[in-house]
Structure 1
Amino acid sequence: MSPHVPSSDSIRTVALVGGTHGDELTGVALVRAFQQHPERMQRPGLDVTALIANEAAIAACRRGVDGDLNRSFAAAELADASLHSVEQRRAKAINAQLGPKGPDTATDLILDFHSAASDMGLNCNITGEDPFLFRLAALAIHRLAAEPDPLAVRCYQFPAPTGDAPYLPTIARHGMGVEVGPVMPGSLNAAIYFPTLCLAHTLLDLVAEYAAGRWPDAPLPLDVYTEIDTIPFPRDADGRLTAMVHPERTRRVYQPLQPGDPLFLDFHGRTIPYTGAPGLYPTFVNEPSYLAKDIALCLARHSQRMV
């Protein structure tokens, strides 16, 4: 076992979650396929369940009905009996089924499947620092890269929140998001679905190998893209958009930005260049669900670590 992963850690109960956002149908289709054929998700030594998180949002083909389910799992919100929105009720039900959030949770690992309209490819998303998850991501990335028909997978890190994280996977002891794209909201893309399914099977295989004590000891190199900032849209004094993400940038997700590179294009055809620090990687570029948050794209710093 890798020296970076605590030897006392035990993984037995795993939940595969889709439909946390109702218009991200890749995870919905994947989880329903596992529910129809549960033998395909079971692994020796593991108890694996598959859960559709937000049926109401799926039926409406919306990210959420009253709010964002993936921002509804802070401990205080889960404990507040006065909160009754669709997503707040659903969060409490999921917490009762898979949790409760905290040291007594019934679930060791949650894999939460999401999709993006941005050309993100396949990503293992990790919030904060979790040695088990980084090792799991590294093993999956190396294994899939070595297949006869290789798949490229990246490790994307969200910084640890300063307080109690509100994300669905945090009700388990370990929680990883699987983010894939490009897939337009409310749609499916077979060219993304089947690689996502392959990644899901690989992650389950690796977790079963971990439970059986069969992970290799040697550390592996892992490229990590850590989100450090976001860039808002240009707006006028009344808050109206004055420019769009430059089409060259939408085609260059995960390619480093340099000062002077085209970033936005205004409605008169004038280019607005990037003026920030060099060598940062744009991600979630022109993501539709981020417009309401005034995020045109995110910026990540690349590093390599041994895990």
Structure 2
Amino acid sequence: MPALPDTPDFIRSVALVGGTHGDELTGVHLVRAFLRNPRLVERPGMNVTPLIANEAAVAAGRRDLGHDLNRAFAAADLANPELDAYEQVRARQINALLGPKGPSSKTDLILDFHSAASDMGLNCNITGEDPWLFRLVALAIRRLAEHTEPLAVRCYQFPAPAGDAPYLPSIARHGLGIEVGPIAPGSMNAEIYFRTRRLALTLLDLVAEYNQGAWPDETLSLDVYTQVATIPFPEGDDGGLGTMVHPERIRAVYEPILPGDPLFVGFDGAVIPYGGEAGLFPTFVNEPSYYPKNIALCLARRTQRQA
């Protein structure tokens, strides 16, 4: 397959990152397994580096030690030595190890492993537009779906931030998040662990095939769920949490929502229905890590694109 626009011919350096959030243990233990047995991730012509991003937060059993590491990689923040929160210092260290962020980055591809308490299934998360990543994900989805033990994977797109992205994968030329759920923070689930491992190894296989010029020539269709909105919790009389996400919606992640569908329920049992655009797909529903941001759920629009 010819190289895609603005895509160099080879992916020589790949980082596999877990523990960007210290209580998301699927990625932590996956990366530790790769560190113990590097032959699992060795591929011809590629330098693969497994990395635990936030060892201190992992040791503390917390998402972070006061600052979200996955929001610490904006270029201006990386260039500011006066930012001295632990995660801000750690971001500069990781940027020096894997970057520096920008066209001279030492890393061609980062796979950053995350997990969610919301029933998200297995997702490949792309921020903004990256045609090479969309094709990589489309090939992985097809290969895993056609396997004798099929595995369902979705492609999720975060819109590009107004400035440069503050996320850890943004320091590489190509940055891909792997998001899997449902799993409670600070816990492990063997089925989810091995599904994530299969996806990671399949992606590495496909990158190696790309380097060998072995990607197929045909155009693939890819369903992409693009985040278009976030929905806050209705405020209570005291300015605090006023409602809960309705249980029917918690059980219906990635199922289209229609006006009138139950969305919230008050502590008195009163139901608040959804009143927005029909046919969007709720995601990250009732995600605990989003509570501090007052986000009850996100909404995504599904489109089909060619990859």
Instruction: Output the TM-score relative to the length of structure 2.
Output: 0.98
SS at match of 2:269: coil
CA contact (8 A) 1:21 1:69 kept: yes
Q: Deviations over 1:45-79 (max 9, x none)?
A: 21101000001111111111020000000111111
CA contact (8 A) 1:111 1:175 kept: yes
Q: Describe how 1:11-160 pairs up with structure 2 within 5 A.
A: 11-160=11-160
Cα distance in 2 for residues equivalent to 1:241 and 1:101: 39
Q: Taking structure 1 as reference, are residues 260 and 188 closer, same or farther at Cα in structure 2, changes over 3 Å only?
A: same
Cα distance in 2 for residues equivalent to 1:213 and 1:3: 9
One-letter amino acid matched to 1:284: F
Deviation at 1:5, TM superposition (A): 5.4
Q: Taking structure 1 as reference, are residues 3 and 91 closer, same or farther at Cα in structure 2, changes over 3 Å only?
A: closer
CA contact (8 A) 1:2 1:215 kept: no
Cα distance in 1 for residues equivalent to 2:82 and 2:74: 15
Q: Find out whether 1:257 has 2:254 as its counterpart.
A: no
One-letter amino acid matched to 1:75: A
Extract structure 1 runs of 4+ deviating beyond 6 A.
none
SS at match of 1:103: coil
Deviation at 1:238, TM superposition (A): 3.0
One-letter amino acid matched to 2:10: S
More divergent stretch after superposition (135-144 vs 4-13): 4-13
> RMSD across aligned C-alpha pairs, in angstroms?
1.1
SS at match of 2:179: strand
Per the alignment, residue 224 of structure 1 pairs with 224
One-letter amino acid matched to 1:175: G
Cα distance in 2 for residues equivalent to 1:253 and 1:3: 36
Question: Please, which runs of 5 or more residues in structure 1 have no aligned partner?
Answer: none
Cα distance in 2 for residues equivalent to 1:306 and 1:107: 27
Cα distance in 2 for residues equivalent to 1:266 and 1:122: 31
Q: Describe how 1:228-239 pairs up with structure 2 within 5 A.
A: 228-239=228-239
Q: Describe how 1:191-206 pairs up with structure 2 within 5 A.
A: 191-206=191-206
Per the alignment, residue 165 of structure 2 pairs with 165
Per the alignment, residue 240 of structure 1 pairs with 240
Instruction: Output the TM-score relative to the length of structure 1.
Output: 0.98
Q: Taking structure 1 as reference, are residues 234 and 7 closer, same or farther at Cα in structure 2, changes over 3 Å only?
A: closer
Q: Find out whether 1:300 has 2:295 as its counterpart.
A: no
SS at match of 1:17: strand
Per the alignment, residue 176 of structure 1 pairs with 176
One-letter amino acid matched to 1:246: H
SS at match of 1:42: coil
Cα distance in 1 for residues equivalent to 2:197 and 2:150: 14
Cα distance in 1 for residues equivalent to 2:274 and 2:193: 33
Deviation at 1:186, TM superposition (A): 0.5
CA contact (8 A) 2:236 2:243 kept: no
Cα distance in 2 for residues equivalent to 1:103 and 1:227: 27
CA contact (8 A) 1:57 1:65 kept: yes
Question: Please, which runs of 5 or more residues in structure 2 have no aligned partner?
Answer: none
CA contact (8 A) 1:232 1:295 kept: yes
